[in-house]
């Protein structure tokens, strides 16, 4: 009797434990849509203001979207009205072989929603207007174009072209193979960029970082590269009488040229000592000026980012990253050269890894 009661209590506890999980699964909705011409490669445009997005390529003919949000159903209400505004729904539409997924209005600052999307492998993916959230793309042969304000980007099994820009976030890329006419470009203002490529990859590389290092485990005979560093330009202003090409005043005709008196040895040593001291002072001043310039650059960048985030919240549009110049630049060829791979970051390391 006691054994039966114990078993009943155990089953009841198990059922109660599984109940929240079942409810959570029930809250997840699935929507499906097909391209108007499935025989041709299509494009998926993702505009998710807040939330993580995962896109997986598979051997399928339609696009399926799983989310904790719900899709807006375009069916009119009983009174004939259509709901145009909503705070917890997304839209999924298709036109001319382009499927568009939208969640969050222009400049909308509400809650977040995550999306798990399955697409045909040949689909190209464009992610824009993403303010906060991580992105993962895997198993795609189409091109990937990503622009996000804040979030990590992870690309797996890349075989097409890729353009990734994130203001704050790390970029991790696993390249399966490179197409000759499809370059790869990755930029992050604040975050490490890691690129994994097969050992036999043929590529031209261009890497740039300001506050990080550039590393690789490729042999120097396989990855032939050179490094250049752009520093603050030093300007020296000299007076006219100090220039070596300055003309000396001419002596009167027939006069004996004046001979400068020899300086005592002690005076020459004193002048040399003064010259060394002045050089040290100049170097310290230059270094202080350089540090001040870097501090001003950081302050300007912080203001720029703050204004950019405000503008993004108001307009709902993610602007392109400003061009990066200066810093440490590595250029070279991998296995003799080939497809262009470039990466740039202001604060972060750049790592090129060989994988077999």
Q: Summarize the confidence of residues 193-222 as an average pLDDT.
A: 95
Which pLDDT belongs to residue 125?
Answer: 96
Domains in the chain, number: 1
Confidence of residue 17 (pLDDT cuts 50, 70, 90): very low
DSSP annotation of 194 reads E
Q: In angstroms, rounded to a whole number, what is the distance separating the alpha carbons of residues 88 and 82?
A: 16
Mean pLDDT for 234-258 is: 44
Q: Span 208-225, mean pLDDT?
A: 94
Q: Read off the pLDDT band of 150 (50, 70, 90).
A: confident
pLDDT at 209 (0 to 100): 92
Q: Give the model confidence (pLDDT) of 153-162 as tens digits.
A: 999 999 999 9
Residues 6+ apart with CB under 8 A from 201: 175, 178, 334, 335, 338
Interatomic CA distance for residues 245 and 261, integer angstroms: 22
DSSP β-bridge partners for residue 148:
130, 166
> If you search the block for the tokens 């040399």, which residue do you land on?
272
Mean local confidence (pLDDT), 333-352: 95
Residue 252 is predicted with a pLDDT of 47
Residue 27 has a pLDDT of: 57
Residue 227 lies inside a defined structural domain of this protein? no
Q: What is the DSSP string of 95-158?
A: ETTEEEEEES-TT-------EEEEEETT-EEEEEEEEE--EEEES--S-EEEEEEE--EEEEEE
Average of per-residue pLDDT across 39-65: 93
Which pLDDT does position 193 carry in this prediction?
A: 97
Task: Give the model's confidence band at 202: pLDDT under 50 very low, under 70 low, under 90 confident, else very high.
Answer: very high
The CATH number of whichever domain residue 32 belongs to comes to 2.160.20
Q: Tell me which of 307 and 277 has the higher pLDDT.
A: 277
Q: Which domain holds residue 60?
A: 28-202+344-355
223 found inside a domain: no
Distance CA 86, CA 76 (A): 14
Read off the pLDDT band of 69 (50, 70, 90).
confident
- Return d(Cα 47, Cα 42) in angstroms, integer: 17
pLDDT at 237 (0 to 100) = 38
The verdict on residue 245 lying in a domain is: no
pLDDT > 70 in the chain, percent: 59
Q: For residue 144, is it within any domain?
A: yes
List C-alpha distances in Å: 137 to 55, 124, 190.
5, 11, 21
Cα–Cα dist 41/182, whole Å: 16
Q: Is residue 65 part of a domain?
A: yes
Domain presence at residue 133? yes
Tell me what the pLDDT averaged over the chain comes to.
75
């Amino acid at each position: 009797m006691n054994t039966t009661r114990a078993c009943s209590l155990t089953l009841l506890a198990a059922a109660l434990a599984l109940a929240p999980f079942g409810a959570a699964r029930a809250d997840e909705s699935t929507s499906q849509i097909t391209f108007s011409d499935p025989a041709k490669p299509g494009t998926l445009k993702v505009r998710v203001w807040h939330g993580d997005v995962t896109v997986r390529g598979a051997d399928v003919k339609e696009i399926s979207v799983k989310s904790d949000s719900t899709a807006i159903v375009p069916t009119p209400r009983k009174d004939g009205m259509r709901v145009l505004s909503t705070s917890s729904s997304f839209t999924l539409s298709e036109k001319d072989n382009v499927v568009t997924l939208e969640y969050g209005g222009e400049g909308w600052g509400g809650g977040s929603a995550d999306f798990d999307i399955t697409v045909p492998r040949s689909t190209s993916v464009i992610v824009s207007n993403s303010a906060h959230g991580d992105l993962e793309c895997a198993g795609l042969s189409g091109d990937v174009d990503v622009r996000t304000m804040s979030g990590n980007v992870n690309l797996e099994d890349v075989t097409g072209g890729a353009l990734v820009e994130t203001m704050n976030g790390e970029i991790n890329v696993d390249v399966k193979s490179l197409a000759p006419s499809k370059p790869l470009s990755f930029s992050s203002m604040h975050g490490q960029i890691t690129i994994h490529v097969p050992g036999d990859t043929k590529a031209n590389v261009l890497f740039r970082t300001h506050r990080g290092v550039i590393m690789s485990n490729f042999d120097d005979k396989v990855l032939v590269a050179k490094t250049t560093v752009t520093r603050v330009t030093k300007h020296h202003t000299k007076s006219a009488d100090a220039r070596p090409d300055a003309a000396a005043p001419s002596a009167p005709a027939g006069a004996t040229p004046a001979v400068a008196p020899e300086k005592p040895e002690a005076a020459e040593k004193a002048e040399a000592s003064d010259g060394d001291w002045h050089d040290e002072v100049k170097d310290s001043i230059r270094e202080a000026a350089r540090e001040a310039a870097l501090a001003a650059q950081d302050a300007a960048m912080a203001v720029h980012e703050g204004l950019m985030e405000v503008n993004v919240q108001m307009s709902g549009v993610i602007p392109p990253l400003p061009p990066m110049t200066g810093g440490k630049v590595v250029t070279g060829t991998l296995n003799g050269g080939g497809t262009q791979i470039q990466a740039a970051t202001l604060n972060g390391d750049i790592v090129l890894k060989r994988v077999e």
